[in-house]
C-alpha cells in the first residue's frame, strides 16, 4: 500500500495542453481559406504581378536551360519546380504559421493565389455577351483566353459549347482541386497543386517539343487531379437543378473522356445544365474526335454559358464548405490518434 501511494501517477495535463494547439491551427487555416475565397470572389486575379504568373515565368526560363527530348529530363524539371514551391510553402508554414493569426493570413494569401473561379466565370461571361450581341469575331478573339482551341472556324454554337466545357473542366482545376489539396495538406498543399497544374498547362500538352519532356508533368497532374475531379462531379450533382440527370450522365459517360479527370466534371455539368457536350474538337492543326457526353440531351446554346457559370459558383461554394469541414475533421482525427 505504501509503495503504491508513493508511486507518482502520470499527469494528463500536458497532453491536454499539447492537443489544444492542432485544433487552433486547423481553425486558423479554415478561417484563412474562407477569407481567400472571399478575396477571389471580390477581386478575382490581379492583372499584374500574380504569383502564378511569376512562377510560370521562372519555370519557362528553367525549361529553356533544362530541356532535353526525353522523359528523364522532364521528370527532373517537374520535381525541381514543384519541389521548390512545396519546400518554400512548408518553410513559410513553419515560421509564419506558428501563430494562429499568421497561419490564417498565410492560408488566405495562398487560397487567393491558387483560386481562379471568378476570373474563369468572368471570361466565360465576356464571351457570352459577345455572342449575344452577335459579335462572333470578338468571341473568337476572346476564346483563347479560356481554352486552347482554334476559334477561327467555330460558329456560335461551337464557341458556346467550348465555353461550357472549359467552365466545367476549370471548375475542377482552378477551384475544387486546389481546395482538396488544402484540405489534405494545408497551405503547402494549395501551392504545390497550383504548381503542378501550371506546369501541366505549360509543358504537359501534346506537341513535338513536349511529347517526352512534358510527360512527367502531365502524369503528375493526372494523379493530383484525380480526387478533385470526382469531388467536382459529386458537388455538381448536389448543386444541379436536376440531380438525377446529372448523376446518370456522369456515371454513364464520365469515363468515356480520354482524360481520366476532365470527363468527370464535363459529364456531370452536361447532365446538370441539360446539354450535350463532347464531339469533334480542333487544337491548332490537331483534330480530336471525343465521345459525346449526354448524347440524348439538347445542343448547347448561348444562354447555357450563364447557366454553367452559375453552376460553377455553386460548386465552388460547396467545395469551400467541404474544405473547411474536411480540414477540421482531419486535424481532429490526427489529434485523437496522436493522443491515443
On whether the CB atoms of residues 248 and 335 are closer than 8 A, the answer is no
- When pLDDT is averaged across residues 148-165 and rounded to a whole number, the result is 90
On whether the CB atoms of residues 172 and 264 are closer than 8 A, the answer is yes
- When pLDDT is averaged across residues 139-160 and rounded to a whole number, the result is 90
Long-range contacts of 329-332 (CB under 8 A, 24+ apart): 330/26, 330/183, 330/184, 331/22, 331/23, 331/25, 331/26, 332/22, 332/23, 332/26
User: Which three cell numbers, joined as nine digits, stand for 297?
Assistant: 440531351
Confidence of residue 339 (pLDDT cuts 50, 70, 90): low
Smallest CA-to-CA distance from 159 within 149, 173, 174, 172 is with 149
Confidence of residue 13 (pLDDT cuts 50, 70, 90): very low
103 CB-near residues (< 8 Å, 6+ apart)? 25, 28, 29, 32, 93, 96, 97, 187
41 CB-near residues (< 8 Å, 6+ apart)? 117, 118
Q: Is the dihedral of CA 267, 271, 272, 277 positive or negative?
A: positive
Question: For the chain, how many helices (H) and strands (E)?
Answer: 14, 2
Q: How far is CA 173 from CA 166, 197, 228, 266, 285, in A?
A: 10, 7, 8, 12, 25
The length of the chain in residues reads: 340
Output the average pLDDT for the chain: 89
Q: Answer yes or no: is pLDDT of 7 > 80.
A: no
| CA atoms within a 13 Å half-sphere pointing along the CA-CB vector of 107 | 31
Report pLDDT for 311.
98
Q: Which residue has the higher pLDDT, 4 or 36?
A: 36
Q: What's the pTM value of the predicted model, to 2 decimals?
A: 0.88
Determine how many CB atoms are found less than 10 A away from the CB of residue 57: 10
On whether the CB atoms of residues 194 and 96 are closer than 8 A, the answer is no
User: Which three cell numbers, joined as nine digits, stand for 91?
Assistant: 518553410
Confidence of residue 102 (pLDDT cuts 50, 70, 90): very high
- Convert the pLDDT of each residue in 208-251 to its tens digit: 889 999 999 999 999 999 999 999 999 999 999 999 999 999 99
Smallest CA-to-CA distance from 190 within 175, 205, 202 is with 175
Q: Answer yes or no: is pLDDT of 283 > 70.
A: no
What's the CA gap between 295 and 11, in Å, rounded?
A: 66
Amino acid at each position: 500500500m505504501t509503495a503504491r501511494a508513493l508511486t507518482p501517477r502520470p499527469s494528463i495535463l500536458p497532453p491536454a495542453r499539447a492537443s489544444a494547439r492542432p485544433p487552433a491551427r486547423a481553425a486558423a487555416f479554415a478561417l484563412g481559406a474562407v477569407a481567400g475565397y472571399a478575396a477571389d470572389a471580390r477581386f478575382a486575379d490581379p492583372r499584374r504581378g500574380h504569383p502564378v504568373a511569376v512562377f510560370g515565368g521562372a519555370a519557362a526560363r528553367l525549361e529553356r536551360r533544362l530541356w532535353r527530348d526525353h522523359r528523364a529530363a522532364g521528370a527532373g524539371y517537374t520535381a525541381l519546380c514543384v519541389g521548390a514551391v512545396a519546400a518554400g510553402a512548408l518553410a513559410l508554414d513553419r515560421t509564419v504559421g506558428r501563430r494562429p493569426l499568421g497561419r490564417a493570413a498565410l492560408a488566405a494569401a495562398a487560397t487567393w493565389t491558387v483560386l481562379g473561379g471568378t476570373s474563369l466565370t468572368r471570361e466565360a461571361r465576356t464571351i457570352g455577351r459577345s455572342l449575344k450581341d452577335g459579335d462572333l469575331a470578338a468571341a473568337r478573339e476572346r476564346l483563347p483566353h479560356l481554352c486552347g482551341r482554334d476559334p477561327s472556324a467555330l460558329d456560335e454554337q461551337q464557341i458556346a459549347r467550348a465555353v461550357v466545357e472549359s467552365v466545367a473542366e476549370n471548375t475542377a482545376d482552378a477551384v475544387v482541386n486546389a481546395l482538396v489539396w488544402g484540405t489534405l495538406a494545408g497551405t503547402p498543399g494549395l501551392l504545390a497543386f497550383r504548381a503542378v497544374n501550371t506546369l501541366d498547362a505549360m509543358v504537359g500538352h501534346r506537341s513535338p517539343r513536349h511529347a517526352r519532356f512534358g510527360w512527367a508533368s502531365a502524369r503528375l497532374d493526372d494523379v493530383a487531379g484525380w480526387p478533385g475531379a470526382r469531388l467536382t462531379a459529386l458537388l455538381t450533382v448536389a448543386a444541379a437543378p436536376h440531380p438525377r440527370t446529372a448523376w446518370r450522365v456522369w456515371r454513364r459517360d464520365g469515363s468515356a473522356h480520354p482524360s481520366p479527370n476532365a470527363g468527370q466534371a464535363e459529364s456531370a455539368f452536361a447532365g446538370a445544365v441539360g446539354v450535350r457536350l463532347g464531339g469533334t474538337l480542333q487544337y491548332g492543326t490537331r483534330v480530336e474526335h471525343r465521345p459525346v457526353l449526354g448524347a440524348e440531351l439538347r445542343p448547347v446554346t448561348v444562354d447555357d454559358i450563364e447557366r454553367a457559370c452559375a453552376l460553377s459558383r455553386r460548386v465552388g461554394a460547396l467545395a469551400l464548405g467541404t474544405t473547411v469541414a474536411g480540414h477540421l475533421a482531419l486535424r481532429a482525427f490526427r489529434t485523437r490518434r496522436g493522443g491515443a
